[in-house]
Amino acid sequence: MYKLFYSPGTASMVIHQLLIELNQPFELVSVDFGKNQQRSAEFLALNPQGRVPVLADGAISISESAAILLYLTEKHQCLAPEATSAKRAFFLQQIVFLTNNLAPQFRLWFYPPDLGFSEYPPALKQQLQENITRIWQQLDEHLAHNGPYLLGEEFSAADLLLTMYMRWSRNMPQTALAWPALRRLADLVRARPSWQQLYQQEGLTEWAGFE
């Protein structure tokens, strides 16, 4: 049985939902950020970065959402194109694009101390918002012409990753739902039973999509 170290609403969300979609048995292990448990010696032994998610699969311990996502989809041969499929390269491109472009911008947005600020100057905060906006626009244009999912008609784990990032924009001046094709994808993912189960298990309420 898998063991997922998580904190509600964080980057562990995508792995939690993916495990549900894969219909795999797993144990949730809460890492309480309020109690600074991510900095405990026990957790740092699993991930020296002090971040969730961490997935334990027997003697194997994996961190980084994208790495865990690829590990699980390859292991279970589900929610990703086969290695010989023409769509495989594009699937990998989408995962890496989101991880290398969108995730770092959100990291900077939510954690000003990473750049030495207690709060960002208005101009810098505006620039971060514009950086994220450009990525939303690019993704929306792709989905508008090739959607409704990132791989067209084929739902994949990449859509779970994108939806998690869209949720993170919910309290920003301009959310991902301002773009119609992104909203359509978000609504499709949020209508899935796995999303509802995720919300119930993590005790989430905002941006549920099934009110």
Q: Domain tally for the chain?
A: 2
- Tell me the CB-side half-sphere exposure of residue 72, using CA atoms within 13 A: 34
Range of the domain at 102: 88-192
Total number of residues shown for the chain:
211
Contact residues for 192 (Cβ-Cβ < 8 A; gap 6+): 21
- Based on the fold, state whether residues 101 and 74 are members of the same structural domain: no
Report pLDDT digits (tens) over 119-128: 999 999 999 9
Q: How far lies 201's CA from each of 110, 127, 144, in Å?
A: 24, 36, 32
211 is a domain residue: no
Instruction: Give the pLDDT mean for 172-194.
Output: 97
In a domain, 143, yes or no: yes
pLDDT band at 210 (very low <50, low <70, confident <90, very high): low
Q: Are residues 145 and 185 in the same domain?
A: yes
pLDDT for residue 202 is more than 60: yes
Domain CATH number, residue 44:
3.40.30.10
Kindly calculate the radius of gyration of the chain based on its CA atoms and give it in whole angstroms: 17
Same domain membership, residue 23 and residue 103:
no
Interatomic CA distance for residues 35 and 27, integer angstroms: 21
38 touches 31 (CB < 8 A): yes
pLDDT tens for each residue of 106-142 = 999 999 999 999 999 999 999 999 999 999 999 999 9
Based on the domain organization, do 106 and 74 belong to the same domain? Answer: no
- pLDDT bin (cut points 50, 70, 90) of residue 96 is very high
For the cut 90, the answer to whether the pLDDT of residue 35 exceeds it is yes
Query: What pLDDT sits at residue 60?
Result: 95
| Separation CA 174–CA 74 (nearest Å) | 35
pLDDT for 208 equals 95
